[in-house]
């Protein structure tokens, strides 16, 4: 499963690179993996906290809670009973603005852009939103007992 998800993500990135001219406005777009996405979220949360409270800090637990919520929301996965931090909408806007101003796309945006070009048959044979969530949240590296 781990290799399948990683291969599927790499295939998605290759597809994006082949069709970048139809999917984004610049050939100099940087694609963010999970680590960069998490870092961008942490910086966005710290920036939001600085605007709200004057301190450029954020707790790890808040970052991880927001990370989980952001992934579910962007991938259109169920979020009914999930907790969310205060000022989530402001944080999400700061995150999206950070990516846009840095000419970056996160893997979820790449996923969504690639799916717009695919036929229904191709969509059935590519990575699903659940598999991408597993990849981004590190689930594919978990070891079964």
- Tell me the domain boundaries of the chain: 2-7+31-139
4, pLDDT greater than 70: no
Within 8 A by CB and 6+ apart from 52, the residues are 87
Question: What are the structure tokens assigned to 124, written together?
Answer: 């059935």
* pLDDT-derived band at 60, boundaries 50, 70, 90: very high
Does the predicted TM-score (pTM) go above 0.75? yes
Residue-level pLDDT at 144:
45
Residue 139 or residue 109, greater confidence: 109
pLDDT mean across residues, the chain = 85
| Range from 7-11, 56-60, 97-101 carrying the lowest mean pLDDT | 7-11
Query: In this structure, are residues 30 and 105 in contact, taking their beta carbons and an 8 Å threshold?
Result: yes
Residue-level pLDDT at 122:
62
């Amino acid at each position: 499963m781990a290799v399948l998800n990683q291969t599927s993500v790499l295939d998605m990135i290759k597809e994006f690179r082949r069709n970048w001219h139809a999917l984004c406005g610049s050939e100099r777009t940087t694609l963010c993996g999970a680590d960069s996405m998490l870092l961008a979220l942490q910086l966005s949360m710290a920036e939001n906290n600085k605007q709200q409270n004057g301190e450029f800090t954020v707790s790890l637990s808040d970052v991880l809670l927001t990370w989980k919520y952001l992934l579910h929301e962007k991938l259109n996965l169920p979020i009914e009973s999930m907790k969310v931090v205060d000022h989530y909408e402001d944080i999400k806007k700061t995150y999206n603005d950070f990516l846009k101003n840095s000419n970056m796309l996160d893997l979820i945006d790449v996923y969504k852009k690639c799916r717009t070009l695919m036929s229904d048959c191709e969509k059935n044979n590519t990575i699903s939103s659940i598999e991408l969530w597993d990849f981004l949240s590190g689930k594919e590296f978990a070891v079964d007992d």
